[in-house]
Structure 1
Amino acid sequence: MADVPAVSVVIPLYNKGPYIARALNSVLAQTFQDFEVIVVDDGSTDDGAAVVRGFDDPRIRLIQQENQGVSAARNRGIEAARAELVAFLDADDEWLAGHLEVLLRLRDKYPEAGAYGTAYLVKRKDSKACVAAFSDDIPRKPWEGLLPSYFKAAAFGDPPISASTVAIPKSVLTEMAGFATEAWWGEDTDLWGRIALKYPIAFSWDGMGIYHTEASNRACNRTEPVEENIFVRTAKEALEAGEIPDAMQADLREYVAKKQIETAWFNIRAKRADLARTVLKKCVTRELIRKKYWALFWAYVPSSAYELASTTRQISMDILYRAQEDYTNIRKPRKI
């Protein structure tokens, strides 16, 4: 059909009124313009939906539903998508102008891939955006191609793809049954992991997005206990069933260990040190031993001591970021 766009952009929206215009403007500013945008408002109580309606562009569609969670919102957008390639963007993040162009280029070069991702910048409070701390297992820029090992890259650095810098063929999304709706945390990396168990993952340093950690109402900032990361269960079942190639097993096990350590930290922050200790006792790792035992140490420290240390560290990090920003500004050449 002539009116079918080359790519569908799915944006889940829940109480992100202050940021959704920035996200939409970054899509409309793309160098590649053959797209549709599907914003799924998941029962917001702020003015986010009204902001979306204020955009006078027929390529933008707004779908509203009762609050069911981010996975249900993304899955609703996938169902409504008309293109075979579906790109994702969170409502409080944004893209640089060439992002979609790079994703389409990756799709054309590597049709066998199950997902296409770009590098991204991380924006923290009161600091400029910096490139994420990717693993050295990803070849250095300007490389792009199929990742040598998705799980190794994800185990030893920031995730090589994120919910705001990835595009996935709709056929693959259908095969994977979309995002898991039973988890409030890790539902995105669970899908990337399930895809990586079956398909190669394509990556490029070009066409970055910006991940805004300073935005409010982010799911990762919730302090609720988590018994087990959803992908850990998936990976263990696949390993026990003998479905994982020998060459992938070591990297997958280290990635599972990383997810268990992250789960322990979630529980420590949620004042459930007992859950943190339980998770860490199941954690088997060769490469992440220090991180495992550092988390285990704090799992035996009183919550009040952890909160004091965490607050002190955050203040120190804020001072460091501001100092780096000031130093960068001082070094900038002045216009005459």
Structure 2
Amino acid sequence: MVNDGSTDKSADVVKSFSDARIRLINQKNAGVSVARNRGINEAKSELIAFLDADDEWMPDYLETILRLREKYPYAGLYATSLKTEFIDNVLMDKDKELRKLIPDEGLILNFFKVNLKDISHKDIFYTSSVTVPKKIFLEIGGFQTGFWWGEDIDMWGRIALKYPFAYSSQVCAVYYQNVVNSAAYRRKPVKGHPLLNTGKEALKLGNVSPEIVKDFEEYLKFVEMCTAKHNVEAGDKNLALNLLIRKDIKLSYKKLLISTIVSTMIETNFPAFSQLLFGRTVSLR
């Protein structure tokens, strides 16, 4: 348990457990990436699993991960599907074309292609339904520090450039989005996404397999669009406006950005009208 400068009584709760398997590591607040890297370095197991404070594992999560590990020992990441407060399985709303790329239980050979098939960016797994061999972290490097936006996607992307993912469509975790201080709802502009620098460097050095180069390049543009959308909702339209005039950005991405700009303007300037249109004062997502 890494206590990253918490101000509640969670550290005292951990201290109350009398179990040699549980170790409490205290540090000054340095951000989620530093905390995760510290935990990875301190961990004694060959597998690293993540469980954020506001998420939950189902009783069969670790059993499912170990089954994947036994079947696919060469995979770089092991993950399962999950549910949220709003949907029983994040795979339910995927179209047939996308579902063909997602095994009931097996390998995902092109992580980038799978994500490109869903413009809503509803990931097929989240950090709390992911387990990674420690040796992979040591090879790839830790989470990029200095970011609170996209550091997990950057990590999965770096692993996906070198290894397939083992995946189970079984729901084995719960992702609670509607919680206080959740990064999913933090409205603060970001300078950029860590994967963009990582990806451009990998392409420059020729570290991307020819079979996935096209999908990876498009995925980077997709990430740019998602980052611009986030910034619009946080009050900064600059990145979105830059993408709108770029010829290499898909029309569907531009339409989503324009829709986000308009809905955010209505929410900000005409809250009563926003309430009338959407039933509640929130931007379209």
Give the equivalent residue in structure 2 for 1:80. Answer: 42
Are residue 71 (structure 1) and residue 29 (structure 2) matched? no
Give the equivalent residue in structure 1 for 2:69. Answer: 107
State which drifts further: 271-280 or 106-115. Answer: 271-280
1:236-293 C-alpha deviation (Å, 9 max, x unpaired): 222233322232022212322221111111111221112322245458345xx32322
Give the equivalent residue in structure 2 for 1:175. Answer: 139
SS at the partner of 1:119? strand
| CA RMSD between the two structures | 2.5
Q: Using the alignment, how far apart are the partners of 1:310 and 1:262 within structure 2?
A: 23
Aligned counterpart in structure 2 of residue 147 of structure 1, from 108, 111, 116: 108
In structure 1, stretches of 5+ residues that fail to align are: 1-38, 318-336
Q: Using the alignment, how far apart are the partners of 1:141 and 1:249 within structure 2?
A: 20
Q: Using the alignment, how far apart are the partners of 1:249 and 1:121 within structure 2?
A: 31
Give the equivalent residue in structure 2 for 1:54. Answer: 16
Give the equivalent residue in structure 2 for 1:315. Answer: 280
Q: Using the alignment, how far apart are the partners of 2:76 and 2:244 within structure 1?
A: 31
What letter corresponds to residue 154 of structure 2 in structure 1? D
Give the equivalent residue in structure 2 for 1:187. Answer: 151
Give the equivalent residue in structure 2 for 1:325. Answer: none
Q: Using the alignment, how far apart are the partners of 1:72 and 1:101 within structure 2?
A: 28
Q: Is the 8 A contact 1:228 1:279 kept in 2?
A: no
Q: Using the alignment, how far apart are the partners of 1:151 and 1:302 within structure 2?
A: 29
Q: Using the alignment, how far apart are the partners of 2:67 and 2:44 within structure 1?
A: 19
Change over 3 Å in CA distance of 1:42–1:271 after alignment to 2? same
1:200-234 C-alpha deviation (Å, 9 max, x unpaired): 11101225100001121112222221232110221
Give the equivalent residue in structure 1 for 2:238. Answer: 274
Q: Using the alignment, how far apart are the partners of 2:243 and 2:27 within structure 1?
A: 35
Q: Using the alignment, how far apart are the partners of 2:102 and 2:254 within structure 1?
A: 31
| 1:114-129 paired onto structure 2 within 5 Å | 114-124=76-86, 129=87
Change over 3 Å in CA distance of 1:180–1:192 after alignment to 2? same
Aligned counterpart in structure 2 of residue 257 of structure 1, from 203, 215, 221: 221
Alpha-carbon shift at residue 315 of structure 1 (Å): 2.7
Q: Using the alignment, how far apart are the partners of 1:310 and 1:63 within structure 2?
A: 46
What letter corresponds to residue 219 of structure 2 in structure 1? Y
Q: Using the alignment, how far apart are the partners of 1:58 and 1:85 within structure 2?
A: 18
1:81-114 C-alpha deviation (Å, 9 max, x unpaired): 0011111111110011110011111111111111
Q: Is the 8 A contact 1:227 1:279 kept in 2?
A: no
Give the equivalent residue in structure 2 for 1:130. Answer: 88
Change over 3 Å in CA distance of 1:315–1:302 after alignment to 2? closer
Alpha-carbon shift at residue 75 of structure 1 (Å): 0.5
What letter corresponds to residue 112 of structure 1 in structure 2? Y
Alpha-carbon shift at residue 302 of structure 1 (Å): 8.9
Q: Is the 8 A contact 2:232 2:264 kept in 1?
A: yes
SS at the partner of 1:205? strand
What letter corresponds to residue 48 of structure 1 in structure 2? S
Q: Using the alignment, how far apart are the partners of 1:123 and 1:293 within structure 2?
A: 28
TM-score, normalising length: structure 2: 0.86
Give the equivalent residue in structure 1 for 2:53. Answer: 91
Q: Is the 8 A contact 1:232 1:256 kept in 2?
A: yes
Alpha-carbon shift at residue 310 of structure 1 (Å): 6.7
Number of equivalenced pairs: 272
Alpha-carbon shift at residue 142 of structure 1 (Å): 7.3
Q: Using the alignment, how far apart are the partners of 2:278 and 2:142 within structure 1?
A: 38
Change over 3 Å in CA distance of 1:169–1:141 after alignment to 2? closer
Alpha-carbon shift at residue 139 of structure 1 (Å): 4.0
Alpha-carbon shift at residue 40 of structure 1 (Å): 0.7
Q: Is the 8 A contact 1:97 1:207 kept in 2?
A: no
In structure 2, stretches of 5+ residues that fail to align are: none
Q: State percent identity of aligned pairs.
A: 40
Q: Is the 8 A contact 2:49 2:131 kept in 1?
A: yes
Q: Using the alignment, how far apart are the partners of 1:283 and 1:41 within structure 2?
A: 46
